Structure 1
Amino acid sequence: MLIEQGQYVAEEKPLTIVIAADTYLPDINGAAMFCYRLATAMKERGHRVHVLAVRGENGKTFTEVRPEAIVHRLQSHAVPTHEYFRIVFPWEVNSQINKLLADINPDVVHAQSHYMIGQQTIAYARKHGVRSVATNHFMPENLDPFLPFPKWFKKIVARNSWRDMGKIFGKADAVTTPTPLAAKAMKDYARLTKVLPLSNGIEAGNYELAEGEEIVRNEAPTILFVGRLAVEKNVNELIEALAIMKQVPDAVLEVVGGGEQRAPLERIAHEQGLSDRVRFLGHVTTEELRLAYLRCDVFCQPGTAELQSLVTLEALSASKPVVLANAMALPHLVDVGVNGYMFEPGNREDLAQKLDTVLSMDKQARERLGEAGHRKVMNHAQEKTMNSFEALYRGQSVTQH
């Protein structure tokens, strides 16, 4: 049976689904948020959902019951070069994963990476005839900033990681990734022959202005960045571009998110004389994030390692113009001059010019860009995504939309 992405899936018996996630809430990143949304949607559809994830602190494996799923927190260890990411050791948890899966007796498992938890979950599924789906949210090169090795050695690590991805995901019944560009990379470097581009999805209504709702806006034109403060996000370039904007020299930058780069970024803002114009908001609640999107005048994503960029989709759903780095999957989200602009990565002058272009427009012109972005994001509606994954879980074919 062939299912178009987004097509309604007929009611059938509930499934027992295991999501194998190396990162999960309270971690704040695209993969963790996708897993949470996936678990929530499948639970709402009547399925029994379990999540295998790392424990967020030292200690033995334990199980917690959350509204969206039963979450099994596996014994894990901190990574010295990362603020919150943790890893499991196979010799400690593989037997635990096997026992948990045997007790759960799933109809389908869904691995979110080829590392550690995902690898063992796919191996179990293969051995015991359980249907398996594998999704890649990660480019091996994303590891680069966190590996304390010379560049030549990091290239070897990335090459081996691509090879391992091919071997491990090649055992799954279906393989997906958020964008066509990521699918091409997996075919080219991991030698995976069948990879389905399937958007992570976005609930656009969560970020729309409600009827009659009024937002308290900043006095100065506002640029917004949302995301983990990591090297590959290039927030330093955004701060440095802010300093050389000419048409709108009073613009302010709001930065939502935390990470290992916050202190260095605060130093850069101070050195540029921008301490009063760069506002680090840290981790915020869901409602505070929504208000940040709605009160900004333009959203900027300078990251160069985005497989999809859920935060950009959220900004588009809030009807905001975007200025994005011309890198990885970001060009798929902007029609130049229609819903925003792209800039050359690393080029502060180009970024400053594009921000000036948007912020110097009158309100009506910016709103036209925002409305075009909102129309574009409807291709990434979460309902379509969840229908497609539910179809994959049942062994049905899904075509790209």
Structure 2
Amino acid sequence: MKILLTTDTFSPSINGVVISVKNLYKELTKRGHEVRILTLSFTGYSYKEGDIYYLRSFDARIYPGARGTFSYKNRFIKEIIKWSPDIVHSHTEFCTLIHAKYIKKRLRLPHIHTYHTMYDDYLCYIFKGKLISKRRAMTIIKKLIGSVDEIITPTQKAKGSLNAYGINRPISIIPTGIDLSRFTIENQYTEKIKGIRNNIGIKEKDKVLIFLGRLGKEKNIDEIIMNVKELNQELDIKMLIVGGGPYMDNLKKMVNELGLEERIVFTGMVPPEEVPLYYSLANIFVTASTSETQGLTYIEALASGLPVVCRYDEAAEGLVINGTNGYMYNNKEEFKQSIKSLISKSGDIQELRGKAKNSVERFSLDVFASEVEKLYLRHIVF
């Protein structure tokens, strides 16, 4: 098959959409398909790099990191049409989705769309939350993706959101796959891990909680910080906050005001290849976010052998199993009890790690690519 993937966000950005598109490209190519990617450039010009077409774009200033483009009669679009893909698969809802629709119409192709983002939780970033209401957002999303041939969502939660928007297109649930092998730490990393520990002041004997991801208000990290403050009255624990984002300064200020500078460490952004090393420093992954469509970091943590303690969220149902690979909590007391329970089981660390790893085998890249490939074949007439 000739497959065109489109996305407004790609490298050098690091987020769930970028990871998903990269993994899908890699796995489909490995299966013998011819795959190309159409995305937006962070430079002032259009260029092609291997199988990736970058269209010149500008800072749209709608929300942090958003790009816009006026390149709709670009030479690369003509080149893609001449290449004549068998199917187009869009991954974001704005600029390159318009390109995907245009290419679909010109070539009469099937058009698949993956819905990655729950916009209800991100409206505060769009013109600072002053322009688009939830109802208006629903109307926009329905208009943008209501005409595609089939929609992929990673969870039932995301599918339910689209059903609530009144979208009546076929919807298939296919969890995004990740490279599980990345999170198996080999012995050669021992010295590097020691170096990271020394740099950030984490001792090997410390009991460490970790949040890893984008530091946005919607991630509700404030709640975790307050819970950790109370928990430290009963347990001697530390916390790593790994990542960057628009809410970082607010969180650092909060930590300083609470006097938790010795207990909560901010690392900032870390290189993608070092992410597994940071998971290896911790005992438990924690999050209070309810804005996830799937929660790729939950899967990464479990693949690293970390139990997960997360606020109850439909996106985590079937992923986090209470008492097996972690706990979902509904309030502060349940959070504290979950942490205490897991720390008290630290003597059974190998059993805990084994259960965590085994629980995410179904999220492998092979399973992900296989399910997407089957969906494509349902739509293509050769």
Classify the TM-score, shorter chain: 0.7 to 0.9
Which gives a bigger RCO, structure 1 or 2 (Cα 8 Å, sep 6+)? 1
Structure 2 stretches lacking a partner, 5+ long: 195-202
Task: Answer whether contact 2:123 2:132 (CA < 8 A) is retained.
Answer: no
Task: Answer whether contact 1:114 1:164 (CA < 8 A) is retained.
Answer: no
Find 1:255's aligned residue among 238, 241, 252: 241
State how far apart, in whole Å, the 1-side matches of 2:129 and 2:84 are: 44
AA partner of residue 202 (structure 1): I
Find 2:22's aligned residue among 14, 26, 36: 36
State how far apart, in whole Å, the 1-side matches of 2:229 and 2:41 are: 41
1:324 to partner: Cα distance = 0.9
Find 1:316's aligned residue among 302, 311, 325: 302
Match of 1:289 in 2: 275
AA partner of residue 385 (structure 1): F
1:107 to partner: Cα distance = 1.8
Task: Answer whether contact 1:166 1:190 (CA < 8 A) is retained.
Answer: no
Task: Answer whether contact 1:18 1:52 (CA < 8 A) is retained.
Answer: yes
Find 1:182's aligned residue among 126, 138, 158: 158
State how far apart, in whole Å, the 1-side matches of 2:273 and 2:6 are: 28
Match of 2:375 in 1: 392
Residues 206-285 of structure 1 correspond to what in structure 2 (within 5 A)?
206-210=182-186, 216=194, 218-246=204-232, 249-285=235-271
Residues 141-180 of structure 1 correspond to what in structure 2 (within 5 A)?
141-148=120-127, 153-167=132-146, 170-172=147-149, 174-180=150-156
Match of 1:363 in 2: 347
Q: Give secondary structure in 2 for the equivalent of 1:296.
A: coil
How many residues align? The count is 369
1:171 to partner: Cα distance = 2.7
**TM-score, normalised relative to structure 1:** 0.84
AA partner of residue 84 (structure 1): G
1:152 to partner: Cα distance = 8.8
Match of 2:197 in 1: none
- Range 299-308 or range 217-226, more displaced: 217-226
Cα distance change of structure 1 residues 76 and 152 upon mapping to structure 2, 3 Å threshold: closer
1:309 to partner: Cα distance = 0.9
Residues 320-399 of structure 1 correspond to what in structure 2 (within 5 A)?
320-344=306-330, 347-364=331-348, 366-395=349-378
State how far apart, in whole Å, the 2-side matches of 1:361 and 1:198 are: 33
State how far apart, in whole Å, the 1-side matches of 2:245 and 2:366 are: 31
Task: Answer whether contact 2:309 2:326 (CA < 8 A) is retained.
Answer: yes
2:74 aligned with 1:103, yes or no? Answer: no
AA partner of residue 117 (structure 1): T
Match of 1:307 in 2: 293
Match of 2:55 in 1: 74
Q: Give secondary structure in 2 for the equivalent of 1:110.
A: strand
Match of 2:71 in 1: 93
Task: Answer whether contact 1:248 1:356 (CA < 8 A) is retained.
Answer: no
AA partner of residue 62 (structure 1): Y
Deviations 1:228-284 (A, max 9, x none): 111111112212211110575331111221111111111111111111222212222
State how far apart, in whole Å, the 1-side matches of 2:93 and 2:211 are: 29
Cα distance change of structure 1 residues 181 and 150 upon mapping to structure 2, 3 Å threshold: closer
AA partner of residue 297 (structure 1): N
Match of 2:48 in 1: 63
Task: Answer whether contact 1:82 1:260 (CA < 8 A) is retained.
Answer: no
Cα distance change of structure 1 residues 81 and 161 upon mapping to structure 2, 3 Å threshold: closer
Cα distance change of structure 1 residues 355 and 145 upon mapping to structure 2, 3 Å threshold: farther
Query: How large is the Cα RMSD of the aligned pairs?
Result: 2.5
Q: Give secondary structure in 2 for the equivalent of 1:52.
A: strand
Cα distance change of structure 1 residues 241 and 79 upon mapping to structure 2, 3 Å threshold: farther
2:15 aligned with 1:24, yes or no? Answer: no
Task: Answer whether contact 2:242 2:269 (CA < 8 A) is retained.
Answer: yes
AA partner of residue 355 (structure 1): I
Match of 1:121 in 2: 100
1:204 to partner: Cα distance = 1.8
Task: Answer whether contact 1:25 1:36 (CA < 8 A) is retained.
Answer: no
Task: Answer whether contact 1:227 1:258 (CA < 8 A) is retained.
Answer: yes
AA partner of residue 176 (structure 2): N
Percentage of identical aligned residues: 25
1:386 to partner: Cα distance = 0.7
2:119 aligned with 1:140, yes or no? Answer: yes
Task: Answer whether contact 2:139 2:165 (CA < 8 A) is retained.
Answer: no
Cα distance change of structure 1 residues 39 and 318 upon mapping to structure 2, 3 Å threshold: same
Task: Answer whether contact 1:179 1:308 (CA < 8 A) is retained.
Answer: yes
Task: Answer whether contact 1:227 1:256 (CA < 8 A) is retained.
Answer: yes
Task: Answer whether contact 1:298 1:320 (CA < 8 A) is retained.
Answer: yes
- Range 322-331 or range 179-188, more displaced: 179-188
State how far apart, in whole Å, the 1-side matches of 2:263 and 2:62 are: 29
Find 1:54's aligned residue among 40, 54, 69: 40
Cα distance change of structure 1 residues 134 and 166 upon mapping to structure 2, 3 Å threshold: closer
1:157 to partner: Cα distance = 2.7
1:207 to partner: Cα distance = 0.8
Cα distance change of structure 1 residues 85 and 253 upon mapping to structure 2, 3 Å threshold: farther
Match of 2:200 in 1: none
